[in-house]
Structure formats: C-alpha cells, structure tokens
Amino acid sequence: MSNDILNSLLKEYDQKKLKAELECDERKNNLYRLIPRLQEIDNELNSFAFKTAKNILNNSLLSDNSNNSYTVENLEEKIKNLKKEKEKILNENNLTLDYLKPFYECKICNDTGYVLDNNYKTTMCNCLKQKLLNISFNKSNIYNIKNQNFQNFNELFYSDKIDESKYHSDVSPRENIKLIKDICFSFINNFEKAEEKNLLFTGNTGLGKTFLSSCIANELIKQRKTVLYQTAPVMLDTIIDYRFGKSNNSNILESILNVDLLIIDDLGTECVNNMKFTELFNIINTRLLNQKNITKTIISTNLSLQNLYNTYDERIVSRIIGDYNICYFFGEDIRFKKICD
C-alpha cells in the first residue's frame, strides 16, 4: 500500500472529523440561543473543572474572585449538580447528552484512524484497516453485501417437508437452515474466543451459502472487525500474481493472512494446480496458527466433502475437517423461488 493512498485516506479522516466537530459546534450554538442557561452551565463546568485540576496539582485551597474557598470535594459536588441540571434541561427538551457531542463515524477512533492499544502504543484503527483492504482488493465484493443481512434472510423460502430419500436427512430444509443460522450467530457472538471454530458452508448453488456469509460479514463489520471477501479464483490468482511480481502491492498476502475474517467463496471453481494447493494450505494453516490475534475463516463451496478429498491435497481437507464447523445446505434453489415470488 503506497503512502499516497494512506495519506489520501487520512485527509478524508481529517475532513470527516472536522465536519463532525463543526456540526457539533453548530448544534451547541443553536441550543445556547434557545436555552441560554445551558451555555452558563457549560461555562461553569469548564471553570470548575480547571479549578479542580489546579487544586489537585497544588494540593491547596483555591479562592475565586468572591473570596469563596473551595475544596476539591466542594468543587466536585458543584460539578455533579451542574451536570444533573444540564441533563434535566436536555431531557425536558427530548435531547440526550450525546446531542452535544460530535457524531463521529467511528466511535472507537473518533475519526482519527488511530487508537491506543493495551500497551499505550498508537496503532491503526480497524475502520482504517478496512478501507485499506477495500482499496487493495478492488475486486472485493465487500461493497455489494450491505443489503445481505439477517433481517432480509427469509427462512420461509426453504421447504418444511422432510425428504430423507432426497436429502439424506431427518430434518426439513427449513429446520436445517434454522440450525445453520444458529451456528452463524454463535460464530458472531463468540468470534473473539479461540475455541470457536471456523465455518465451512457446503451444498448446491442457490441455497444461501453466500448470503449467510455476507450476513456474518455485515454483523462483524458493525463490530469494527476487518473483513475480506474474495472468491477462491480471484484470491489465489491475486497471490500468484504477487509471487511472480505482477503486482507491487506488498500488503496483499499479509492482509489475507491477518484480516479478522476472511471469506473464501466458491472454493472449487478455480483452476487447480500444485502452486495453488500450496498457497491455499498456507492461508488456511497460517490463519489457524495465528499468534498475533484471533482470525477466523469462512469457506463456501459447492463441492461435497468427498469431492473436496478428490480435488485437494489431503493436508488441506484434513485441516478443514478438523478445525471447521461443517454446515450442510440442502433443499431447492431459493433464487428461483425469489424470482417467482
């Protein structure tokens, strides 16, 4: 990733931050004109906060211009009462304290792009990492999944009829997709836990594998996790191009290996060869062994487990079988049902 791209993004962040703060000032000034007492309270709060800090530093009594002496305890009590009065006035006007704060797009970094880690070192916020990922992988589908969420996922498209002879299961397609949906929610809610397994979605086309992958991606993006969504052919070709010097983006492989959630869609549709086997194993294995942070992977494929064994190196399949929750999708193509409806 070139410095020019990063600098350009940081300029965008500066503009977003400034815009949020100017809008906040405008809201405050409008409110001050309507309710002058609010401005008086804010001025008093600033004054008392300064006196409290100075009193603590000097470890002595402070006196204002009226020769009234305040201890730290007295000042803190006054600040507490003023805050209560301020909150009461806002509530009476159907407003919250947040109304007088900047509405930053990212609540974690306040639109700076950087945060302090646990060791108090400055590190890049995930919101900025995600933007860099989206630029690096300009073929990513991450922008096309916003409407693919759990609210738009309709279980009624799946049949409630059990057909053991056809699907080799004693539950209906609808009950099965509900179970898979529960697994997806567990994956989201326990994402930070090392013991939560990765996901393999397997089944015929048109059964919701990609849609549910997108639902998970959307939920984790809301949690400020970084997400990279790529089809297997595009991802592997991108890596091969980098290996042969056809791409000068040195962050490509690092991003694939270290992104919080990697979604590999359409595994099995790529042209397979030993080089791609090696790269695929490296991705799966490295992400499983990642010591820097917890990373998770979702793999979606139309291939059955037997076909996976027939197609890929045994090391790849054994890694998937051992470290992934396997979700079998079955039923009729729901895309056809959506068109008919």
Delimit the domains of the chain by residue range.
20-104, 126-340
- Six token digits for residue 239: 């890596």
pTM of the model: 0.72
Chain-wide mean pLDDT for the chain? 85
Least confident of 36-45, 136-145, 183-192: 136-145
Q: Which tens digits make up the pLDDT trace of 256-297?
A: 888 999 999 999 898 888 888 999 999 999 999 886 788 999
Q: What is the pLDDT of residue 339?
A: 47
pLDDT band at 302 (very low <50, low <70, confident <90, very high): very high
- Six token digits for residue 269: 């549709």
- At residue 159, does pLDDT exceed 50? yes
- Fold assignment, 126-340: Rossmann fold (3.40.50)
Q: Between 339 and 305, whose confidence is greater? A: 305
Q: What is the pLDDT of residue 111?
A: 92
Q: What is the pLDDT of residue 65?
A: 45
The answer for 168, left when phi > 0, alpha when psi is -120 to 50, beta otherwise, is: left
- At residue 178, does pLDDT exceed 90? yes
- The C-alpha angle 37, 39, 41, rounded to 5 degrees, equals 70
Neighbours of 134 (CB within 10 A): 16
- At residue 167, does pLDDT exceed 50? yes
Q: Which tens digits make up the pLDDT trace of 21-79?
A: 999 999 999 999 999 999 999 898 888 777 766 666 666 544 444 444 556 677 778 88
Calculate the CA dihedral of residues 291, 292, 296, 301 and round it to 10 degrees.
-80
- Six token digits for residue 136: 């690096």
* Cβ atoms of 287 and 297 closer than 8 Å: yes
Q: Which tens digits make up the pLDDT trace of 5-24?
A: 788 888 889 999 999 999 99
pLDDT band at 337 (very low <50, low <70, confident <90, very high): low
CA 329 – CA 309 distance, rounded (Å): 18
Q: What is the pLDDT of residue 245?
A: 77
Averaged pLDDT, 153-173: 90
CA 17 – CA 105 distance, rounded (Å): 8
Q: Which residues neighbour 264 within 8 Å (Cβ) at sequence distance 6 or greater?
A: 230, 231, 232, 235, 283, 297, 298, 299, 300
